Amino acid sequence: MKAASKVYMALIFIFLYAPILVLIIFSFNDTDTMSRSVFYGFSLRWYKRLFEDRMILIALINTLVIAVVAAIVSTVLGTFAAIGINGMGKKTRKLVMNITNFPMVNPEIVTGVSLMLLFVFISNKIKGLGLGLGTLIIAHITFCLPYVIMSVLPKLRQMDSNLYEAALDLGCTPRRALWKVVLPEIMPGIVTGMIMAFTLSIDDFIISYFASGTTQTLSIYIYSMTRKRISPEINALSTLMFLVIMILLVIVNIRQSADRRALRRKGTEGE
Amino acid sequence: MKAKGWATPYIIWMAIFIVVPLFLVVYFAFTGENGFTFANISKIGQYSNVFLRSIWMGAIATVISLLLGYPMAYMIARIPAKRQSVMIMLIMLPMWMNFLLRTYAWMSLLEDTGLINRLLQAVGLPQVHLINTSGAVILGMVYNYIPYMILPLYSILTKIDGSVIEAAQDLGANGRKVFLRVIFPLSMPGVISGITMVFVPAVSTFIISKMLGGGGNLLIGDLIDMQFLGSAYNPNLGSAISLVLMVMILICMGIMNQFDDGETMEGGMMI
């Protein structure tokens, strides 16, 4: 690689990581003022305060509950949907795929607003059904579903359809064949989809903002702080979140490269 | 595989939480206190400057992302395959950090007493006013969305058959000609999908403008936010603006897809 392109790549990475680095450095700032541009020395005080802050902890718990439920439900629903879509005729499949693609193409703010209209509409009709954790979970399942389907469908297409028929010929019921043959084959896609749903849910702000009512998630809490002065507790929190997400991404990547290697091996055996 | 019914729960879910809410947006956009009306739509004329500003800023951010992102994607596609996946992960990693926090980090860099100005001061250069300008908003857009440009470009550039490039060279094309006549045209689907994936969120953003642009750089997203959760509560007008934004985006996508052979979204899928 030429030196010029090395420099260029380095500059882009500096651009991408400089703000994150600043955020992380200032999470260790040893000062009681909320300064975000003078570094006084190293301390863990903001981490300590973070774990004493009840509002942040409640927001964190809400975020995790939503992410776990949304990831599980959207993975189950999405996997079944992908299997169903894979077996559809061309015309129906095209229609369903258009609906699936729509939330990924549509501006997020419009999806958020439209869901809010629905939730407000329903809560006006039926007393006791307000915006909150429930609507947040529904909204998150809705925007995660397309991504699950997008990661499961290619695995279904790659799969040798003879495998399924062989299972049937050997006496499996269709249900058992799906469970014993199809699911293990598409498992990597399912796991990737689930991790994606989980991270998308944790990261989401725009749709949550419109679907939350008064319930706080981390993103919404951070947003309410940006309108006042942000406490470095948030820097500490984001450093921790960054670490968690990094670990998750590394796991996904290792899985995928293991997957690719397995595929390559299969390919050479076939020759 | 005959498993059509497996997608039914998903289709019902999407009907309730994607299709019905969209109809609600349309319904609200065309109703007022006295039933059916065009008043909301015609009121949007007052905000044409906001629309123009959003489109203008979104377009500039998209062009800058393309100019910065294309060389980056091209260079990554040229390095050994093993290091490519590490580079791509490094590009993706910042995306998984809460985008409010990333934008907030820019606030602390760009402020009048922020890190950049302190650095300038230390070197003896005059201070520059960076925050609360339209430039800062565009910077925020480029920063947040440039990975969406690099990833589809990269995935299309790695797919280009090396022998096509060699053939062009053998036939006497120099480096520049090879790029302009062979590589760039072949990467068009990636360019298209990158442009849409940056432009759509950039044009509909509402946090970046608030955090980095101060009060003077109102965008479409802010306008929608104000009608639903802000001071100017008016869901009918908000729905009308959302509807216009959505139609605008869909028309843009339709035009863009004319230049493409399909498969755009596939090239743009993350992970």
The answer to whether residues A32 and A119 belong to one domain is no
The answer to whether residues A139 and A16 belong to one domain is no
The answer to whether residues A59 and A26 belong to one domain is no
Whether B186 has its CB under 8 Å from any CB of chain A: the answer is no
Q: A31: domain range?
A: 1-43
Q: Where do the CATH 1.10.3720.10 domains begin and end in chain B? A: 48-268
Do residues B198 and B140 touch, judged by C-beta distance below 8 A?
no
Q: Domain B48-268 falls in which CATH fold? A: MetI-like fold (1.10.3720)
CA B31 to chain A, closest CA, distance in angstroms equals: 14
Record: contact A12-B76, CB cut-off 8 A: no
From chain B, the residues in CB contact with A23 under 8 A are: 101-102, 104-105
> CA nearest B144 in A: which residue?
A16
Residue A113 lies in a domain: yes
CA B101 to chain A, closest CA, distance in angstroms equals: 7
The answer to whether residues A32 and A86 belong to one domain is no
The answer to whether residues A35 and A101 belong to one domain is no
| d(C-alpha B195, C-alpha A136), whole Å | 30
Record: contact A16-B96, CB cut-off 8 A: no
Instruction: Tell me the residues of chain B between 187 and 246 that have a Cβ less than 8 Å away from chain A.
Output: 196, 200-201, 203-204, 206-207, 211, 221, 224-225, 228-229, 235, 238-239, 242, 245-246
Residue A230 lies in a domain: yes
Residue by residue, DSSP assigns B140-200 as: HHHHHHHHHHHHHHHHHHHHS-HHHHHHHHHTT--HHHHIIIIIHHHTHHHHHHHHHHHHH
What's the pLDDT tens digit per position in B129-148? 888 889 999 999 999 999 99
The answer to whether residues A241 and A114 belong to one domain is yes
Residue A12 lies in a domain: yes
The answer to whether residues A205 and A183 belong to one domain is yes
The answer to whether residues A36 and A108 belong to one domain is no
Residue A242 lies in a domain: yes
The answer to whether residues A73 and A162 belong to one domain is yes
Residue A48 lies in a domain: no
pLDDT at B10 over 60: yes
CATH code for position A199: 1.10.3720.10
Q: How many CB pairs under 8 A join A and B?
A: 232
Residue A212 lies in a domain: yes
Q: Where are the alpha helices (DSSP H) in chain A?
A: 3-26, 45-52, 54-86, 90-105, 108-125, 133-158, 161-169, 174-177, 183-203, 206-211, 218-226, 232-270
pLDDT tens series, chain A, 271 aa = 578 899 999 999 999 999 999 888 888 888 777 666 778 888 888 899 888 989 888 998 999 999 999 999 999 999 999 999 988 888 988 999 988 988 888 999 999 999 999 999 999 888 777 889 999 999 999 999 999 999 999 999 888 888 888 888 998 888 888 888 889 989 989 998 998 899 889 889 999 999 998 899 988 988 888 777 777 888 888 888 888 878 877 787 777 777 777 766 665 544 3
Q: Residue A52: how many CB atoms within 10 A of its CB?
A: 9
The answer to whether residues A169 and A58 belong to one domain is yes
From chain A, the residues in CB contact with B9 under 8 A are: 77, 80-81
Torsion (CA) B235, B238, B239, B244 in degrees, nearest 10: 170
- CA dist B244 → A171, B236, B258, B261 (Å): 56, 12, 21, 27
pTM: predicted TM-score of the whole model, two decimal places: 0.86
Domain count for chain A, please give it.
2
The closest CB to that of A226, out of B85, B100, B109, belongs to: B100
Residue A100 lies in a domain: yes
The answer to whether residues A227 and A195 belong to one domain is yes
